[in-house]
């Protein structure tokens, strides 16, 4: 069941495949009424994508079209256009991902639609946007990843061009579209005016090149791929262990010092080549070689325990099956999401006191003592709503809801 936050919105969804359906999925999951319009006979092309299939339904289609209602309308027929116009009369939002001008020819472009419903928020998602020399080109995630620069900075130096493992420009376009739609809806609330939101896969990809663009415009240097490494800080990347890899996020001086203490390499703290982040970046190859030799000496889980005890950000590199069997993911899914369905917001828990630098300096906790409960709570716990602004009836509702969820879980 979706949240009810956007239950006031009626959305006409004329999209298919990924970017558009992901946008309307985000709106639907927050309670919007989404009416998905599909073509006769075949529907959304994603319905045929697979395997895998679940009872003859594409798993890919189901994953991004939940919480929506579907209707078949033939936009090539006059009566189909009339049905669409009737739906538009009472809609708050229309989302479409046809090539530019396609819906204009059908009388369903923005100017035509705003004549029917002046307050509608009309969102167009395409490969390259509604203007410019590329506007008529077809838009696919792979093409946009290549043309946005993302593939030029992904993977390892010297390798074949590598795309991001997920369809990142499709997903980011959907995210930007949902963001733009809600901004336009706020404008409508304030002014009564609808707006046209124009989203492209290309620009959505370019929008993610924040640091790479900053490097280029400030220095003229053209950034290249860095593997798992950070472009500005070190050490911040994956390192080999005795049985796999571990991600280390010792990107600032405090975490660098914690890491060196945790892995018993205090000698690195007095090495001028690694004295600060600038020096570590200047000597990155030597730094990676040095740390790799150390991390190869123990298993990933052993290093994770050692590093987390000292408050060093780190983590394993999980496969998809491991992700969905992770106890933290399962715990959050079972409790937090059920609370959200009741409109009860939560947030992540505290960072254990014995791992915080200020308390370490005060020597309040024995260095080698383990605080299992505190560490478990920091990983698996969450805050419930609290504060002076919450009424007694709201506190009672939260408490009873949580008890009911936990009773059903057990």
CATH of the domain at 338: 3.90.1150.10
**CA triplet 375, 377, 380: central angle to 5 degrees?**
110
Q: How far is Cα 290 from Cα 177, in angstroms, rounded to an integer?
A: 45
Domain identity same for 299 and 384 = no
Q: pTM, whole model, 2 decimals?
A: 0.80
Number of Cα atoms under 13 Å in the Cβ half of residue 74 = 6
Do residues 202 and 127 make contact, with C-beta atoms less than 8 angstroms apart? yes
Domain identity same for 83 and 177 = yes
* Alpha-carbon distance values, 262 to 249, 294, 372, 375 (Å): 13, 12, 18, 16
Residues 306-342: b if buried by 16+ CB within 10 A, e if exposed: bbbbbbbbbebeeeeeeeeeeeeeeeeeebbebbbee
**What does the pLDDT read at residue 140?**
95
**What does the pLDDT read at residue 410?**
47
How many independent structural domains does the chain possess?
3
CATH number for 148: 3.40.50.10540
Domain identity same for 56 and 141 = yes
Domain identity same for 127 and 267 = no
Domain identity same for 50 and 168 = yes
**What does the pLDDT read at residue 324?**
80
Considering the domain boundaries, does residue 211 fall inside one? Answer: no
**What does the pLDDT read at residue 273?**
98
**What does the pLDDT read at residue 139?**
87
Catalytic residues: 170
Q: Which of 317, 337, 356 is the last residue of a domain?
A: 317
Q: How far is Cα 7 from Cα 10, in angstroms, rounded to an integer?
A: 8
pLDDT, averaged per 10 consecutive residues of the chain (410 residues), comes to 77 97 95 96 92 89 93 97 97 96 95 98 97 93 98 96 97 98 98 98 97 96 96 97 97 95 97 97 98 97 94 95 82 69 70 66 74 72 71 86 73
Domain housing 48: 10-206
Domain identity same for 58 and 157 = yes
Domain identity same for 269 and 140 = no
Considering the domain boundaries, does residue 4 fall inside one? Answer: no
**What does the pLDDT read at residue 392?**
85
Do residues 169 and 238 make contact, with C-beta atoms less than 8 angstroms apart? no
Domain identity same for 313 and 327 = no
CATH number for 276: 3.30.1540.10
Do residues 354 and 374 make contact, with C-beta atoms less than 8 angstroms apart? yes
């Amino acid at each position: 069941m979706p949240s009810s936050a956007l239950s006031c919105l009626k959305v006409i969804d004329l999209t298919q495949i990924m970017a558009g359906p992901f946008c309307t999925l985000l709106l639907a999951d927050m309670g919007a009424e989404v009416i998905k319009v599909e073509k006769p006979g075949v529907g959304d092309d994603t319905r045929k994508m697979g395997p895998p299939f679940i009872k003859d339904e594409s798993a890919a289609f189901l994953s991004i079209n939940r919480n929506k209602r579907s209707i078949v309308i033939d936009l090539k027929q006059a009566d189909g256009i009339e049905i669409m116009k009737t739906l538009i009369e009472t809609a708050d939002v229309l989302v479409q991902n046809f090539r530019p001008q396609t819906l204009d020819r059908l009388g369903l472009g923005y100017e035509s639609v705003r004549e029917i419903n002046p307050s509608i928020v009309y969102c167009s998602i395409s490969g390259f946007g509604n203007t410019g020399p590329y506007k008529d080109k077809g838009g696919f995630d792979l093409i946009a990843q290549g043309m946005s620069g993302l593939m030029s900075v992904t993977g390892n130096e010297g390798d074949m061009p590598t795309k991001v493992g997920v369809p990142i420009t499709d997903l980011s376009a959907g995210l930007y579209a949902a963001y733009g739609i809600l901004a336009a809806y706020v404008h409508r609330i304030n002014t009564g005016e609808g707006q046209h939101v124009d989203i492209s896969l290309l620009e959505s990809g370019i929008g993610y090149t924040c640091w790479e663009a900053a490097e280029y415009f400030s220095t003229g240097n053209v950034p290249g791929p860095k593997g798992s490494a950070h472009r500005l800080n070190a050490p911040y990347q994956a390192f080999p262990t005795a049985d796999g890899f571990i991600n280390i996020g010792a990107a600032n001086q405090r975490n660098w010092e914690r890491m060196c203490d945790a892995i018993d390499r205090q000698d690195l703290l007095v090495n001028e080549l690694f004295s600060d982040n600038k020096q570590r970046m200047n000597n990155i190859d030597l730094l990676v070689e040095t740390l790799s030799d150390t991390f190869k000496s123990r298993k990933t889980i052993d290093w994770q325990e050692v590093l987390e005890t000292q408050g060093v950000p780190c983590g394993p590199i999980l496969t998809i099956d491991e992700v969905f069997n992770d106890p933290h993911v399962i715990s959050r899914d079972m409790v937090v999401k059920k609370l959200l369905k009741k409109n009860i917001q939560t947030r992540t828990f505290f960072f254990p006191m014995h791992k915080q630098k200020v308390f370490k300096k005060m020597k309040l906790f024995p260095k080698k003592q383990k605080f299992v409960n505190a560490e478990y709570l920091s990983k698996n716990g969450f805050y419930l709503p609290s504060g002076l602004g919450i009424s007694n009836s709201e506190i009672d509702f939260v408490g009873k809801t949580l008890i009911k969820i936990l009773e059903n879980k057990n």
